[in-house]
Amino acid sequence: MIYERCLAFPRILFSRRLGNFSRFVHPEDRERVSKAIDRARQDRVPYSEEFRVVRSDGATRWIVSKGEFEYGPNGEARMMRGMAVDITERKEVEEAP
């Protein structure tokens, strides 16, 4: 799973609350990612964002994350489902001189 390989954290840390995941988003990307997720929830549109995460060992990795919210009968977001892919090598090639 992406959690164990990319983030070096057990999956259980991310299974309950979005806030658990956001604390591992790179500080410079955190606000942008948070706004994109909020926009997806409010506008009921799919979410897609590229950002950095900081692993438990201090390494920084690039992730592309895509998902969508599931809404309950009352119209409130119940959960977000999606996927994340490590794109660090692609970003390194793109940023190479």
Indicate the domain borders of the chain: 2-95
Q: Using the predicted structure, report yes or no on whether residue 13 has a pLDDT greater than 50.
A: no
Q: Which of 30, 5, 3 is nearest to 14 (CA)?
A: 3
Give CA–CA dist 58/4, Å, rounded. Answer: 14
pLDDT value at position 11? 54
Q: What tens digit of pLDDT does each residue of 37-96 get? A: 999 999 999 999 999 988 878 889 999 999 999 999 999 998 888 888 889 999 999 988
Examine the pLDDT at 2 and tell me if it is beyond 90.
no
What is the predicted pLDDT for the residue at 7? 57
Give the amino acid at 64: V
**CATH level 2 (architecture), domain 2-95:** 2-Layer Sandwich (3.30)
Give the pLDDT score at 56: 79
pLDDT band, residue 6 (cuts 50/70/90)? low
